Structure 1
Amino acid sequence: MTRTSIACLSGLLGLAAAACAPVPVAPELPVASEAPRVTAHRAGDDLLTAGLGADGLRAAIPPAFADPAAPTAGELRRRAIWANWRGIADLAPGGGYGEVYGRLDPVPGREYHAYAHIPGARQPHRVLVQVPDAFDRDARCVVVAASSGSRGIYGAIALAGAWGLPRGCAVAYTDKGAGTGYVDLATGQGAGLDGRPATGAAREFRVDAAADRGVAVKHAHSQDNPEADWGLHVKQAATFALEALDRAFPDAPPHRFGNVRVIAVGVSNGGGAVLRAAEDGEGWLDGVVAISPNVHPGEGGRPLYDYATEAALLMPCALAAEDFDALPMARPQGAVPPAWRARCASLHAAGLLEATTPAAQAREAHARLRAAGWSDAALEAGALSVAFDLWRSIVATYASAYARTPAGGMPCGYAFRAEGDDPAQRAAWWADASGIPPGAGVALAEAHAGDGADPHVPGLLCLRRLWTGDGAQAEALRAGVAATRAGPPRPGLPVIVVHGLDDGLIPEAFSGGPYAARARAAGRDLRYWRVHHAQHFDAFLGLPALAARYVPLMPYAYHALDRMAAHLDGAPLPEDAEIEPVPRRPGETLAVEGLRLPE
């Protein structure tokens, strides 16, 4: 479609306009009401690494601020890029980045920042376009991406930026209505467009600062259910990219859908967002690559809130079963963590487990999860999420988002609170936070925490009842989840989906697998790669025990983008693939042969 459209555009500029079919044009989708913030990044401050290079990104200590209480916009940007690279990619020595796959060469260019507005939404979402100085004017391309998880605007730089910028493509990002513009409701301080502390109308998150004394987090408290609009967020970022390119190159023919190649790519929540964008029938997208997508496929799959609340309750107990005795992540001190045993007892006391002994209770919880569709490989990798208490953070945040509750009215008595009163910590939220507390000096508080060894069970039971029970808030939450259900891609749109079979956060059996099956049943042009020995978090593979067990997914993401670009130039799409890589042995360096990338 894109190559044909470019040919037609050439005709329109010459004498052959009558022979050309109409170029698909997206309907008007307003992006920003004000001029974007434009910054140049060259000479020690590039687009891809903010001048840090490989060594700076690998440093264990974040880039410092000259004045911790008043960081500059440049300092915050550099630190945000450092944090987002380290949150997504495996940069550890021996992991293969920069040698087996990926590039970290400096990419000079300009950035265009703005707030975009979904019609009817309360809150804006951030959009960012990076335009390299080496943008290829003869083969104009845009890579559009949504941040993984609930990360800020640089949350896809390790995937979309690292693949697109060195190839001369502009890269467009959206935080898809989440991000790190936290607001301290006691002071009204949030983050402005440049990341620096701001108050009032200058803040990214337009929340009533008198509503509560805690911390407002946009994903949880926007009252927009942003996940329902992920596809529109991606489309607006792509639209903004065309506007930015017109500004960057005013002497060039206008940049429009149809004469600029647009490839959408994302991982995790970002992968779900680009699949939602793929549904759009307007023809503005040329190809889509989704990695480990958090997508609600309907029949055959399960929405995140369903299986995450189930995991938050049952998985600690299930991992205490003897089946996991040889799993280092499940026996961090050589034995079952006491808190996991306590969870078994709490579940029995709540009537959720019938067994009366700890060992039998663990086996029962394990059997319950297996019957619900969890594989042992997913449960083993899920031990990471249990160890870091991710499930509780995720379900509390998503419950508030789906039910559209404000900061002072989160379901089940949860709230986010600042830890201490450190102005320097608040000033760094925009750069340091992940978009879902706890972290960066913000804690998850529980009004109904219980006593004893397992205080979190009352809140988790309440969150689970919002999915299984009755009441106005439960109905509102389920309606919010229903609004996130994905449809098939646009007919004729090429799509590649890659999912790790050991994914313990977004299990393949609940998301990528059923989505691919439904899309192909609808006759869509989708290819699906299932990767054995791959879990959700490449960033954890710097730990030797995990590096010996799992391979990174990022090489497959870059390879899928290579294959998509080749397809758009005329090569056939790759075939479906069941990939059996060989994890590296302790002390070894990742080798390309062991990845067994599809031909």
Structure 2
Amino acid sequence: MLRLPSALLFGIVLAGCSSGGGRQTPAAAAMIEPQRISEHRGSDDLLTAGLGLDGLRAMAPPAFADAATPTPQELRRRAIWNNWRGIADLSPTGRYGEAYGNLASIHGREFSALAKLPDARQPHRVLVQVPDNFDQKKRCVVVAASSGSRGVYGAIAVAAPWALPKGCAVAYTDKGAGTDYFDLDAQQAPREDGTVGALGEAELAFTPDAPVAASGVAVKHAHSQDNPEADWGRHVKQAAEFALSALNQAFPQVTPFRFDNTRVIAVGISNGGGAVLRAAELDGTGAEKNWLDAVVAGEPNVLAQGPGARSLYDYTTEAALLMPCALLHLPAASLPQPPLRAQAEPLWAARCATLRMAGLVEGDTIQAQAHSAYQQLRGSGWTDAALTAGALSVGFDLWRAVAVTYASAYGRYGVGEHPCGYAFAAQKADFSERQATGAERAAWWSDGSGIPPGSGVGIVDTKLAPPDFTFPALQCLRELQTGDSEAAKRVQSGIAETRAGLPRPGLPVVVIHGTDDGLIPPAFTSVPYVAQARAAGRDVRYWQVRNAQHFDGFLALPAYGARYVPLLPYVYAALDRVDALLDGKAALPTDAVIDAKPRGTGQLEAAQLAIPR
């Protein structure tokens, strides 16, 4: 095995801050210095990169002048376009910026770096947006972790529309995942500014351990060998520390920014929601012991203790196997139509037959087999609402994509070591491997989601076999959860490292979850987490939003927009409430089951959201 050198990337990462004339405390002096500072004014801005609502709604991404060598500015603009569209409902009937949200043009600076936890192999990206209207008296930082495995702008729609117009800085982390894909054939990957550099000729954001002759694509979340999810809370805290460093550079003439004189609110959704709940567990030291002032977690992927708690990997691998068949038990009219449903139903029927041959369902007819799969899912905690919304993840093959990446991450497997034989590569039309083009490689950082397939990178399944081609490897993934092989024990050990503890006593925490979430069902995540925290006397409030599923971005699809409400308005409202609490103007919100009304075939109206006041 050849260890590709990563240690050389970080010679200046942990250098002490030099701003403020030596006035930093010892804790502040150990913080990470910004490696790049950029200004965003005139036709550019922090919130939309100058695109505005119309530009964000455009069906085509912002173009590169040269597809093979985009500039850092072009990459940033396109990354912001992709991340807005992946998280928020920007459709005209969704009325973002009118019924809720803010797309004001906010000018300012961005400070960014590659940060590294002391015991990590690979860095995580951190980035701080400091608006020109930063309120130096209030001294507010909102720290946000990317949802899913997205890049460093993956929480821009979650935190920035609330924070920047109020004069708060926003700190982001990709929490050790992100879109820093490494091309094993070309030996190239993104640099800190997103542009592509060659191994040995540039500081790269991800350099995996790999065999000398390895080919294809290494994906940071899968191949870092860090099990980044175990450190999500530490990533969030380090991003907050980086924010103080950036603010000290931005305003060297004022009293240095420290945790004891700067308000820090953590917010995130999905994996980002889980990350901020993990950050809630962490204490600081001395005067900075209470470094975090409040937490807002939307639809969090969190593994708690106690009844009902299940890991993402457990219910994802279960869904990947059983849900395609189980959906045939639900009346077609009750489901929002997933992509290409007419073409998908024969594949779902084939899955039923395969499950029957494997002894995993009962029945001699497709109907009986679908009922058996459905009953198993209901018996393990799935609700009809979650199964209905889960059809989207089946239609996009999302369950398999998540399971492939996470199995590798939990087991800390390197390139070529996946226990079920999976890999990633650019692919031909017949799904055979090929080398990536320069234009594809140049766009990975801005266009990727952090989990293939997508952006020209596909899943290589070495176990493909008829009649149900993906079943053999999916069964292998499931056995890593349920079995006792050495590989299974290795993956299960990684999952155990992600289990959440309790938030710090006295820390205000608001958890928000859609009752119809079909990707991260609340019964497996939020409900047991809130119960665990309250049993220990922690101050956690819980908003349950009826008719809300997991993906606001998919509400642009008419069938989903008519049926579901967005979750982002409730995240913004909870931020309002915790901010008012910290100002001494209001109490924390009470628990609520919110009877939100979908917009149907019309436009979303603010009153339909029924946000608690």
Same fold, TM-score > 0.5, yes or no = yes
Match of 1:215 in 2: 217
Deviation larger for 435-444 or 193-202: 193-202
Q: Tell me if the contact between 2:301 and 2:312 (Cα under 8 Å) persists in the aligned partners.
A: yes
User: 1-side partners of 2:82 and 2:413: how far apart?
Assistant: 29
Letter paired with 1:68 = A
Matches within 5 A, 1:18-33: 30-32=30-32
Identity %: 61
Q: What is the distance in 1 between the residues matched to 2:346 and 2:28?
A: 57
Where do residues 325-344 of structure 1 align in structure 2 (5 Å cutoff)?
325-329=333-337, 333=341, 337-344=345-352
Measure, in 2, the Cα distance between the counterparts of 1:188 and 1:177: 20
Q: Which runs of 5+ in 2 are unaligned?
A: 1-24, 285-289, 428-433
1:64-123, Cα deviation, whole Å (9 max, x unpaired): 000001000000000000000000000100102100111111111000110111111100
Is 1:147 aligned to 2:149, yes or no?
no
Query: Which position in structure 1 is the counterpart of 2:99?
Result: 100
Q: For 2:129 and 2:608, how far apart are their aligned partners in 1?
A: 34
Structure 1 residues 530 and 214 mapped into 2: Cα distance closer, same or farther (>3 Å)?
same
Letter in 2 for 1:593: A
Measure, in 2, the Cα distance between the counterparts of 1:130 and 1:330.
37
Cα distance in 1, alignment partners of residues 208 and 140 from structure 2: 36
Structure 2 residue 376 is the aligned partner of structure 1 residue 353: no
Is 1:285 equivalent to 2:292 in the alignment? yes
Report what 2:452 is aligned to. Answer: 437
Q: Any idea what SS the aligned residue of 2:328 has?
A: coil
**CA 1:322 to 1:137, structure 2 compared with 1: closer, same or farther past 3 Å?**
closer
Q: Separation in 1 of the partners of 2:181 and 2:337?
A: 32
Cross-structure match for 1:549: 563
What is the CA deviation profile of residues 163-197 of structure 1, one whole-angstrom value per residue up to 9, with x for unaligned ones?
Answer: 11111000000000000010110011100000000
CA distance in 2, matches of 1:27, 1:464: 44
String of CA shifts for 1:435-462, please: whole Å, max 9, x gaps: 000000000011111122x101100100
Change (3 A) 1:310 1:333: closer
C-alpha distance in 1 between matches for 2:500 and 2:240: 20
Contact map agreement 1:189 1:199 (CA 8 A) in 2: yes
Q: From the superposition, tell whether residues 170 and 336 of structure 1 become closer, same or farther in structure 2 (CA, over 3 Å).
A: closer
Three-state SS of the structure 1 residue aligned to 2:349 is helix
CA shift at 1:391, angstroms? 0.3
Q: Distance in 1 between matches of 2:48 and 2:34?
A: 25
Specify the SS of the correspondent of 2:354: helix
Report whether the alignment pairs 1:137 with 2:170: no
Distance (whole Å) between structure 1 residues aligned to residue 408 and residue 29 of structure 2: 27
> What is the deviation of 1:585?
2.2
**Cα deviations by residue, 1:405-438 (Å, 9 ceiling, x for unpaired):** 0121112010001135321111000000000000
One-letter code aligned to 2:175: K
Give CA-to-partner distance per residue, 1:123-169, whole Å, 9 cap, x none.
01000001001100011100000000000000000011111111100
Query: What is residue 11 of structure 1 aligned with on the other side?
Result: none
Q: Distance in 1 between matches of 2:27 and 2:503?
A: 18
| Matched residue type, 1:467 | Q
- Amino acid paired to 1:294: N
Which one of the candidate residues 417, 423, 426 is aligned to 2:425?
A: 417
Change (3 A) 1:211 1:152: farther
User: What is the 5 A alignment of 1:485-504?
Assistant: 485-504=499-518
Deviation, structure 1 residue 45 = 1.1
One-letter code of the match for 1:262? V
Amino acid at match of 2:299: S
Cα contact 1:466–1:477 (8 A) shared by 2: yes
C-alpha distance in structure 1 between counterparts of 2:27 and 2:322, whole Å: 46
Q: Higher mean Cα deviation, 420-429 or 352-361?
A: 420-429
Aligned pair 1:575/2:590, yes or no? yes
For residue 355 of structure 1, give the secondary structure of its aligned residue in structure 2: coil
1:355 is aligned with what amino acid? G
Q: 2:462 pairs with 447, 451, 455, which one?
A: 447
Distance in 1 (CA, whole Å) between partners of 2:204 and 2:403 is: 26
Query: 1:584 aligned to 2:599?
Result: yes
User: What is the CA distance between 1:336 and its match in structure 2?
Assistant: 6.7
Instruction: Tell me what 1:558 maps to.
Output: 572
Alignment of 1:35-54 (within 5 A): 35-54=34-53
Inter-partner Cα distance in structure 2 for 1:276 and 1:150: 16
Aligned mate of 2:253, from 251, 271, 283: 251
Superposition TM-score, scaled by structure 2 size: 0.91
Decide whether the 8 Å contact of 1:317 with 1:340 is kept in 2: yes
Contact 1:412/1:462 (8 A) holds in 2: yes
Contact 1:324–1:380 at 8 Å: present in 2 too? Answer: no
AA matched with 2:298? I
Indicate how the Cα distance of structure 1 residues 364 and 165 shifts in structure 2: closer, same or farther if over 3 A, else same. Answer: same
Contact 1:325 1:331 in 2 (8 A): no
Answer whether contact 1:324 1:330 (CA < 8 A) is retained. no
* Aligned 8 A contact 1:446 1:459 in 2: yes
Residues 330 and 383, structure 1, Cα contact 8 Å, conserved in 2? yes
Greater CA drift, 298-307 or 226-235: 298-307
CA gap of 1:165–1:582, structure 2 versus 1, over 3 A, is: same
Partner of 1:199: 198
Deviations 1:221-248 (A, max 9, x none): 0000000000000000000000000000
Q: Deviations over 1:40-64 (max 9, x none)?
A: 1111111110000111001000000
Change (3 A) 1:93 1:525: same
| 1:504-515 superposed matches below 5 A | 504-515=518-529
Q: Distance in 2 between matches of 1:199 and 1:363?
A: 53
Match 1:318 to one of 321, 326, 350: 326
Distance 1:93 1:467, change over 3 A: same
Other-structure match for 2:171:
172
The one-letter code sitting in structure 2 at the alignment partner of 1:286 is: D
TM-score normalized by structure 1?
0.93
The answer to whether the Cα contact below 8 Å between 2:533 and 2:540 also exists between their aligned partners in 1 is yes
AA in 2 matched with 1:411: P
Distance 1:30 1:376, change over 3 A: farther
Separation in 1 of the partners of 2:253 and 2:204? 34
Asked if the contact 2:209/2:414 (under 8 Å) is kept, the reply is no
CA distance in 1, matches of 2:29, 2:365: 59
State the AA in 1 paired with 2:465: G
Assess, with a 3 A threshold, how the Cα gap between structure 1 residues 514 and 35 changes in structure 2: closer, same or farther.
closer
Alignment-mate amino acid for residue 190 of structure 2: A
Separation in 2, partners of 1:101, 1:192:
36
Aligned to 2:431: none
- RMSD over aligned CA atoms reads 1.5
Secondary structure (helix, strand or coil) at the match of 1:61 reads coil
Q: How many residues align?
A: 572
Cα distance in 2 for residues equivalent to 1:293 and 1:409? 30
After superposition, what is the alpha-carbon deviation per residue over 1:297-321, rounded to whole angstroms, capped at 9, x for unaligned? 1212101000000000000000011
> Shift in Å at residue 595 of structure 1?
0.6
Give 3-state SS (helix, strand or coil) of 2:150's partner. Answer: coil
Change (3 A) 1:333 1:484: closer
